[in-house]
Structure 1
Amino acid sequence: MSTVLAGLRSLFSGLRRSRPKLDREATATIFRNKYNEFQSLLESNTELLKIFSEMEVMLEGREVFGMAFIRSRTSRAVFHAIRMIKSFERLSGRPQPTLLALVERLSTEIKAVIGGRVNPHRGKAVLMLSEVTADIVDQVGGKCANLGEVANRVGLPVPGGFCVTTAAFRDFFAEAGLFETIASIRLGITPDDPASMAAAAEDIQAAILRAALPETLARDLGAAARASAGSDGDAARFAVRSSAIGEDGELSFAGQYLTMLNVAPDRIASAYKFVIASLYTPRAMSYRLLKGIPDDDVAMAAACLRLVPSRAAGVLYTRLPENPGRNELLINAVWGLGPYAVDGVITPDAVRLDRDSLAVTFRDTPDKPRMLVPNESGGLTDVAVPDDLRREPCLDDAAAKRLGAWGMFLERHFGRPQDMEWALNENGELCVLQSRQLTALSERGGLAAGPPVPGAEIVAEGGQSACAGAGAGPVHLVRDDADLDGFPQGAVLVAQHSSPQFMVAMQRAAAIVTDQGSVTGHMASLSREFGVPTLLGLENATRTLAQGEVVTVDAAGCRIYRGRVECLLTRTDESEPFMAGTQVHSILAEAAKRVVPLTLLDPKSPQFRAEHCSSLHDVTRLLHEWSYGEMFAVSDLASGQQGVTATLDATTGLDLHIIDLGGGIREEAGHKRRVTPEDIASRPFLALLKGLVLTGDALALRPVNLGGFFSVMSEQLLAQPKAGSDRFGDKSYAIISDKYLNFSSRVGYHYGVLDCYCGATVNKNYITFSFAGGAADDVKRSRRARAIGRILEALDFTVDAAADRVAGRFQKVPAPLIEEKLAHMGRLLQFTRQTDMLMVSEASIDAMVACFLSGAPCFDPAHAGQA
């Protein structure tokens, strides 16, 4: 008995001991600084994953891109990698010289690769359209690059003409001193004052229009105009259109810039300045500000094309913008020139065609009372449509089918649905005025989604395509690492969560399907690298698809079919990636070797270290994983400190203290020392409280039998006389912001720590949880840990359990799903308190799991049929 008393004295003396205390403000500052560094790290991690994804898409060779894309993505990748390193150093207090040295070396190598670019058109002010292809987009802008590709590689008819390059733009601005003038004017802009933006835009445009073009540029424009006019001479008319870097490429500027129609040859120089000046309208400047594009990085090229005196004109969409899953394309048409087809002035004809047969499936021919035509003075005139044409279709079936065939040909060439402008001249001849990626598609179904395969049974649909394509095979469910061992050749990998560790099976997998996951995540990147059709976020795939069942995964169409669907498996692209083989594509591929590959897969591997990183992706993966551990340990700082802003006034059974990092408590309650759940603004903490606050039946929780409690205590103290030093105390802490929660429940001899981020960005969202300890013997504590692990698995967590400790993670899902899981976690924290004493046999594990999943407020072995 003296040993028991000695143990009890040790216990209470341990409770009386406290750690050195900081004042409230100092503690709050420490937490706030750590949280801010964590936020910075998460932001850069999200940006890097997006950059990796963008580079992988461009490596497919089916998007127009130039050196500007490569320079911007690689420089941003290096910046964010360094930012992650610095944020982690400040978060952890541990320098990372190895990672910094690696990023600096990779940056130097990337610059050397980019510096090897040889551009045969470098410095040229004017290029004829016949010289233009997609790989010189940096010189001619997106509109010219696409049109040159259509003319010179696809072979469709386009108007003749030439391009004024970005080199001409820079020469003009440099000689006229416009760079300095614009910089000076921009100093007067107040970002939140639209009037100051409008005044600055007016001054900049006036300066551009006043400036004289360099003599060599004026001479080159005149020569190109005469060559394009040919025998028509001064009677020729041109369309002068903006072709900005990024326009019709990775950014769609949606008509931000100016187009001038019906321009005489001797007015092209003046029209060019007007088009260039439209780079600095208030709308365009605000757009760049919103997109984070510095004005200093913007350059404007211009397309000068022979004006087609069109009888009719319009646009063609190779997918229906409002319903891309339907197997139809859409043509809109108006009489006269094309602007009325897209400006909403006139309701255009609508013709829908079947994408395969090109048969007309629908026609709507409304009244078209007005049209635009060129006038003699060099402008446009709105005139009445002759009465006999107002309700007549602008295109007959034959012309519509010809346009439909062109649209489908361009979609196959560019590998993306297209938005194509066209014109029909008085001789009945059609031509393409512009083609670009169709960006206004509904998200559901994705860009490449087609209709369901007739007669094939769909067993699941939805989610997002991380890597397009189709694959078929027997379902192989992967619930843990052991299920990856001996993964069958040609099987379909189905799992709850995406994981980079699936790489070991990617060369054997026909396809990959997960309940949760991000298309910009680490595994999605690996799927694209290995070319494995991958469908993420299908929610109930692991419950819907049975082990061994043969299915066909259509990742592009976001559908899974029962059995083999041969027409999907034999589908192939009808054209080669048009950027493949170009110099700019080779440079991207070489630069991407330093950026995109991922070799660090398993955080538990001894290779998961700084010295084994070889790419920026490795650096990102390592630091992101390490940052979880640093934030998980934040709760250690809270114990025994005074930096508490409030205590929670709610029935939780816990002495719960709250540290608000900012935005976690409603502003009107910020002064309170005791706050209620109604005062909480933190999204994740509110969700946790739904399960943590005791209501209804949970208020009648059966108290622990005191005889059993003292029996366990005696057992512990007899075995470990100093066990009192293992007691954690009675305070619990919630460190919160509007989107962040670190919750630590360290009560008696056990602890549970939950760390969570819950916001709008899926890639940032996660829950990590750890539970350990207890007052019972090792066997009972181990049983409780295994039961908690099984409960976490039922909640779709990835679980790691050893001895009396269990840890779980749930990540990269939308915020509502994080909130749903947090409510369960709040209930789990209540449910598992003191249950180690009740784990009297192995059967207790099954009983505890079943009891929790039934929704019961506490574990009652008697009701579970135990002695």
Structure 2
Amino acid sequence: MPQPAVNVIIGNSILETVGFFQKILDKFSGASAKDAGQSDVFARKYASFQALLNANNSILEKMADMEDKLSGEYLIDRQYIVHNAVAISENVKDVIDRLNEIAHGKYTGLYERYKHISIGLEEAYTRRKPVADGSLTVAFDGINKSMADLVGGKNANLGEMKNAVSIPIPKGFAITSTAYIRFMQHNGFLDKINSTLSSLSVDNLDELRAASKEIKDKILNAEIPPDMYSAIMDTYDGVFEGRDTTVSIRSSAIEEDDDFSFAGQYSTYLNVRKAEVTQKYKAVIASLFSDNAIFYYKTKGFKETDMAMAVGVVEMVRARAGGVMYSNDPNDPAIANITINAVWGLGSTVVDGTATPQSYLIAKEPALKIISAAIPEQQIMAVCNENSSVDEVQTPVTKRGSASISDEEIITLSKYALTLEEHFGVTQDIEWAIDQSGQLLFLQTRPLHVYAHEVTPHVPTDIKGHKRLIGKGVVTCKGIGHGKAFIIRREDDLLDFPEGGVLIARTTSPRYVTVMNKAAAIVTNIGGTTGHMASLAREYQVPTLLDTEIATDVIRHEQEITVDAVNGCVYEGYVRELIDNYENKPNPFRETLLFKILSQVLTWIVPLNLIHPEAEEFSPKNCATFHDITRFAHEKAMQHMFQITDVAAVQPEFGAVKMVTGLPIDLAVIDLGGGIRASEGRPKRLTPEHVSSTPFIAFFKGLTSMRWPQGRPVDVGGFMGMIAHSATMSEAQLDEIAKCSFVFLSDHYMNFSIRLGYHLSLVEAYVTDNLNDNYIQFHFKGGGAQEDRRLRRVRLISEILREIDFDSIVVKGDVIDARLSKYKKQSIEQKLEIMGRLTVYTKQLDMVMYNDSVTDQYKAEFIKEHITGAAK
């Protein structure tokens, strides 16, 4: 068996002259490892830690994806929002459960914060306001777009066109959602229908069709409440001035023509006489429960209580021509063109696809201009007859193959398209008609849903005349940033960060949030899109490029640069081509209700308020979002895993196996699962070759690559200081020193408590292919020399740690606590190997650190031989 570490530090001959040191050896040799059950406790704790990391990663990935969708470059639906919000909520609950398993119920206060956030989150994605109280009917003269909850999206937009933009529409009125509730309650339908629908599965079409038919039959045979009937008839007479005017009865559901078109799902009835209005009203209400409509809203993530129907009663336009117009070409939205489809007769044949329409393409800029026209022969057309119906008739021969609208009418339509797009702020899908007298009337307008990636601004990739400093990286938040580089070496550098600077750093850190309001861009050597800082960058909309690997090497402090966080490049100087081409144009999707819901949902998930783990505010009661909870839990979980060696220190019988290392340390191994090669079973004589733990292999490689110091010059003062220090130690302190070194292992995890004489080094690491999980924690304490020499060694170790990118280093007296995180697997392994070398190198340096210059000499020696030299 190798001699105890204290024997190596002092030397055999000296040890024999110091009798009381024998106590240490006696206690050391008496430690036993009988109870394998304690090892199972540690294994369960580690399993909880792994589960916490998995849930944490799932949360961060979903957060990143949802934030990316908020950019407006993807077409999503409400089901996407609800699904991810619920999944994140479940993952957060799992994180809290796992943390409390690790910490023995210490953080149950997180459950109260979780409940509060969950309620707010559910309200955000449910977004179901009670149907607005109000009149049973409202004339178009009194409607605007803010009244969508009362009159439905289609009616609200019609009223907005007439009253806010002075665009011609037919006369008409809305039968409101309040009337819908009145009708359904009067007949006792609401609870029954909601109960029936909530139990339906869209996978069972037969069941769905049967339920639909039953509901529709009930509605068609139901009674219109007397007061509601009177309101409809009175409003009809007032709007149409007592004339028996034929009208169209059109759906205007609360969610229709907003984030979801519900195109073709609900019924419309044309050329309806006054006497038929209420019966056709019921027919439109019944269409809310058609089998295809039920399937549509269920697959889009709506709930039964989301569905409420207002109805429009609109004067019938006996159209000479009609059709549909898009204010921007959905097939090529980057090019500013308007498209118009037109037919002879009613435009319904365009909407239902029974006629091939004429197609016109109009350039918006520099001036409206018809650039193409396609006019097929139109065989049939829809017309109103005198018997309150619509007929499909043969198109007169003189009109087949001829334009249904003139060039002048095309330009007039296009002008209105521009007006509507500007007013509503998004591309519009517009229905129009021209009556027999040539009057143009608009029948509806709604947001045109296109794939947002089609409207992403073009950013050139080949910039001539500008030196490219970086040509790769992970884009976390898209954009272009320009300014002077400001390299962050340590946290204090943030205090001097300038307005408009480009933050350059080795790694990511949520602490950078303090300057994100000033940063033109962020570029780091390492990092991923799902990290805390990446989420903050998206929240603050700072163009961010991560994982460049070389940013701090190739970019000089205060060098003027342009960051292309679209293509993943960094250029020297001011690149006008990039900055001029990337215009922050209004994104049409950012104004839709769906994206407003997504934004509201993310306010309960994404913002990070707990930035500094050492701050007093870093506590469960201050968790305001799910991100806060996950950051808090991740931080505390690592702390508790780091402390498992403290448990083992006071419970020596923890099921450990001694390892023969060939090094002058006595090492006990606790396998948490996967740390020892499965094919080996439980070897009788455990050696490092049996270990499959990635971090241990890297760290042990460093330990064994050094010559363990035997002959460092020890001055008398330093040695006597050690003796004096030891002579005053308590029995408990002697107990602590006597224990052997030990290591907890899994395939990805290592917690190595290495005791060398009078000091303790504790190295914990987690190493996987997921850089978000990867970290190294380091703790150092103790030493046998006089205080000034111990402090010099602490300074040496701290400065070397900083040299290998440890971003959190806290020194208190002769104790060091440090952490490094979010590096790629290969980089973490390299740093662990250096940590192994550093452990051996500093083994007894406090004995020889006579003054600061000697300390600096040893520091320079290690950096040259084991960091700079090793990198070559």
TM category, shorter? 0.5 to 0.7
- Shift of residue 769 of structure 1? 0.9
> Aligned partner of 1:150: which letter?
M
Equivalents in 1 of 2:864, 2:414: separation in Å? 62
Q: Is 1:242 the counterpart of 2:282 in the alignment? A: no
Q: 1:303 aligns with which of 293, 312, 336?
A: 312
Q: 1:440 aligns with which of 443, 450, 459?
A: 450
> Aligned partner of 1:252: which letter?
F
Give 5+ residue unaligned stretches, structure 1.
58-67, 112-116, 580-584, 645-653, 661-671, 677-688, 735-741, 759-764, 811-817, 855-863
Residues 478 and 494 of structure 1 are in contact (CA less than 8 Å); yes or no, is this contact kept in structure 2? Answer: yes
Q: Is 1:732 the counterpart of 2:745 in the alignment? A: yes
Residues 334 and 340 of structure 1 are in contact (CA less than 8 Å); yes or no, is this contact kept in structure 2? Answer: no
Q: 2:543 aligns with which of 535, 542, 551?
A: 535
Q: Which residue of 1 aligns with 2:775?
A: 769
Equivalents in 2 of 1:291, 1:462: separation in Å? 36
Equivalents in 2 of 1:441, 1:711: separation in Å? 72
Q: Which residue of 1 aligns with 2:235?
A: 224
TM-score (norm 2): 0.66
Residues 536-575 of structure 1: matches in 2 within 5 Å?
536=544, 548=558, 563=574
Residues 322 and 347 of structure 2 are in contact (CA less than 8 Å); yes or no, is this contact kept in structure 1? Answer: yes
Cα 1:98–1:629 shift into 2, 3 Å: closer
What's the CA shift string for 1:176-235, capped at 9, x where partnerless?
A: 11123214434753575444334333333333333222222222223333444457x435
* SS class of match (1:276): helix
* SS class of match (1:199): helix
Equivalents in 2 of 1:657, 1:202: separation in Å? 64
Q: Is 1:21 the counterpart of 2:31 in the alignment? A: no
Q: Is 1:214 the counterpart of 2:221 in the alignment? A: no
* SS class of match (1:206): helix
Q: Which residue of 2 aligns with 1:258?
A: 266
Residues 368 and 414 of structure 2 are in contact (CA less than 8 Å); yes or no, is this contact kept in structure 1? Answer: no
What's the CA shift string for 1:362-417, capped at 9, x where partnerless?
A: 52526354565244365555555566656556655544444444344334333334
Q: Which residue of 2 aligns with 1:628?
A: 634
> Aligned partner of 1:807: which letter?
R
* SS class of match (1:440): coil
Residues 129-528 of structure 1: matches in 2 within 5 Å?
129-186=140-197, 189=200, 193-230=204-241, 233-245=243-255, 247-249=256-258, 251-255=259-263, 257-265=265-273, 266-324=275-333, 326-336=334-344, 337-338=346-347, 341=350, 350-360=359-369, 362-363=371-372, 365=374, 367=376, 369=378, 373-376=382-385, 381=391, 398-443=408-453, 446=456, 449=457, 473-478=483-488, 480-491=490-501, 501-502=511-512, 504-505=514-515, 509=518, 511-513=520-522
Residues 794 and 816 of structure 2 are in contact (CA less than 8 Å); yes or no, is this contact kept in structure 1? Answer: yes
- Shift of residue 629 of structure 1? 2.1
Cα 1:480–1:187 shift into 2, 3 Å: same
Residues 41 and 87 of structure 1 are in contact (CA less than 8 Å); yes or no, is this contact kept in structure 2? Answer: no
> Aligned partner of 2:106: which letter?
R
Q: Which residue of 2 aligns with 1:845?
A: 863
What's the CA shift string for 1:642-662, capped at 9, x where partnerless?
A: 999xxxxxxxxx9896759xx
Residues 642 and 764 of structure 2 are in contact (CA less than 8 Å); yes or no, is this contact kept in structure 1? Answer: no
Cα 1:381–1:122 shift into 2, 3 Å: same
* SS class of match (2:496): coil
Of 308-317 and 624-633, more deviation after overlay is shown by 308-317
- Shift of residue 170 of structure 1? 1.4
What's the CA shift string for 1:459-481, capped at 9, x where partnerless?
A: 8999989799x986545455653
> Aligned partner of 1:21: which letter?
G
Cα 1:539–1:98 shift into 2, 3 Å: closer
Cα 1:29–1:555 shift into 2, 3 Å: closer
* SS class of match (1:172): helix
- Shift of residue 627 of structure 1? 0.9
Of 533-542 and 403-412, more deviation after overlay is shown by 533-542
* SS class of match (2:270): strand
Identity score, percent:
18
Residues 741-780 of structure 1: matches in 2 within 5 Å?
743-744=749-750, 746=752, 750-754=762-766, 766-772=772-778
- Shift of residue 240 of structure 1? 0.6
Cα 1:605–1:255 shift into 2, 3 Å: same
- Shift of residue 333 of structure 1? 0.8
Residues 338 and 363 of structure 2 are in contact (CA less than 8 Å); yes or no, is this contact kept in structure 1? Answer: no
Equivalents in 2 of 1:425, 1:272: separation in Å? 25
* SS class of match (2:337): strand
* SS class of match (1:257): coil
Number of aligned positions between the proteins? 753
> Aligned partner of 1:329: which letter?
N
* SS class of match (1:412): helix
- Shift of residue 168 of structure 1? 1.4
* SS class of match (1:211): coil
Cα 1:87–1:375 shift into 2, 3 Å: farther
Give 5+ residue unaligned stretches, structure 2.
1-11, 73-77, 124-128, 656-667, 682-691, 727-733, 756-761, 784-789, 843-857
Equivalents in 1 of 2:306, 2:639: separation in Å? 42
Residues 630-669 of structure 1: matches in 2 within 5 Å?
630-632=636-638, 635=641
Residues 659 and 733 of structure 1 are in contact (CA less than 8 Å); yes or no, is this contact kept in structure 2? Answer: yes
Equivalents in 1 of 2:740, 2:752: separation in Å? 9
* SS class of match (1:333): strand
Q: Which residue of 2 aligns with 1:681?
A: none
Cα 1:776–1:702 shift into 2, 3 Å: farther
Residues 506 and 551 of structure 2 are in contact (CA less than 8 Å); yes or no, is this contact kept in structure 1? Answer: yes
* SS class of match (2:217): helix
Cα 1:39–1:551 shift into 2, 3 Å: closer
Residues 428 and 445 of structure 2 are in contact (CA less than 8 Å); yes or no, is this contact kept in structure 1? Answer: yes
Equivalents in 2 of 1:723, 1:258: separation in Å? 78
> Aligned partner of 2:37: which letter?
K
Residues 702 and 837 of structure 2 are in contact (CA less than 8 Å); yes or no, is this contact kept in structure 1? Answer: no
What's the CA shift string for 1:93-146, capped at 9, x where partnerless?
A: 1356599489879999x99xxxxx999x72311111222222222222333333
Greater radius of gyration (CA):
2
Q: Which residue of 1 aligns with 2:708?
A: 708
- Shift of residue 286 of structure 1? 4.3
Of 88-97 and 217-226, more deviation after overlay is shown by 88-97
> Aligned partner of 1:156: which letter?
I
Cα 1:465–1:743 shift into 2, 3 Å: closer
Residues 89 and 96 of structure 1 are in contact (CA less than 8 Å); yes or no, is this contact kept in structure 2? Answer: no
* SS class of match (2:260): coil
- Shift of residue 152 of structure 1? 1.9
Residues 729 and 746 of structure 1 are in contact (CA less than 8 Å); yes or no, is this contact kept in structure 2? Answer: yes
Q: Which residue of 2 aligns with 1:603?
A: 613
Residues 775 and 819 of structure 2 are in contact (CA less than 8 Å); yes or no, is this contact kept in structure 1? Answer: yes
Residues 248 and 437 of structure 1 are in contact (CA less than 8 Å); yes or no, is this contact kept in structure 2? Answer: yes
Q: Which residue of 2 aligns with 1:857?
A: none
> Aligned partner of 1:304: which letter?
V
* SS class of match (1:751): strand
